[in-house]
Amino acid sequence: MKKKIAVVGAGNVGASCAMYLAEANLADVVLVDIIEGIPQGKGLDLTQAGPVRGYNAKVLGTNNFADIKGADIVIMTAGLPRKPGMTREDLLAKNAAIVGSVGKQIKKYAPKSFVIVVSNPLDLMTFHMQKATGFPTNRVIGQAGVLDSTRFRAFISMELDVAMTDIQAMVLGGHGDTMVPLPRYTTVSGVPIGELIPKDRIKEICKRTAGGGGEIVKLLKTGSAFYAPAASAVDMCKAIMNDEKRLLPASAHLTGQFGIKNIYIGVPVILGVNGVEKIVELKLSKGELKALQKSAATYKEHLKFLGY
């Protein structure tokens, strides 16, 4: 039976996810949205691009959650985007209601699926989605670390004028201003960036990475980033569908690792056919560990608003 990936939300992020998924020929795609006509139109448009772009994946646009039945993975992108001057936390109450209702539908129609959450505020919405579905924590994962790391990689490439694909980076912590880029674990073809970039410039690049989403929000004025977030979610889908056992940063549920308990936060994970197969406890310096724990404490505080 052909694999199926459902994308909830047919806005910019969701439609970009559907496009990247189809182009990867990973699975058939179901694009779900509550607005009539939008997912159907985008699904039809993407299907018509198939002969030219060389894919055979079917893209079905629908308003009916029953169409996600049997999906292997559900990518959750629905929610209100951030507007200029709005923090991720401002979105909390509004998007929590959306995530909660979608979680119930996923539980009903795709009870064996993995869920990749992209909706903001990311780490909190991933926690909320896990509670709403009742799925094991290894099957509910937040997409943020891959995005934050890919931004870090892109900025390093701009700085050094080297191939982006030769750069490997690690960014931990919450998907927001408290994220923790790790220059020590960031390399260009195995060469640590500390050998290639002065300390003060690395500090500036880390700062730009932490504000990477906000920078795009300011430039766009009426929306937030979508190409890189969608590409990052699809990268995680590939790791699960193809059992790649990739070591990637993702928002995962901690049970004491790094001295943090019962919260979703960005950490290095092994991603494969069982979702989060392992959380990798890197040896962090005192400063790095403190920054990660501080990031987690911020989100722990926000969980109280959701009644957890």
**Active site (catalytic) residues:** 175
Cα–Cα distance between 103 and 111 in angstroms, integer? 10
Q: What is the per-residue burial (b if ≥16 Cβ within 10 Å, else e) of 109-137?
A: bbeebbbbbbbbbbbbbbbbbbebbebeb
Distances (CA, A) of 35 to 44, 68, 114, 118: 15, 16, 24, 19
List the structure tokens of 196.
Answer: 């290639």
What is the CB neighbour count within 10 angstroms for residue 206? 18
- CB neighbours of 198 closer than 8 A, spacing ≥ 6? none
Cα–Cα distance between 69 and 91 in angstroms, integer? 29
- CB neighbours of 107 closer than 8 A, spacing ≥ 6? 132, 133, 134, 135
The sign of the dihedral angle between the CA atoms of 157, 162, 166, 169 is: negative
User: In this structure, are strands 191-192 and 187-188 parallel, antiparallel, or unpaired?
Assistant: antiparallel
Written as one letter, the residue type at 78 is: A
Torsion of the alpha carbons at 7, 10, 16 and 21, rounded to the nearest 10? 30
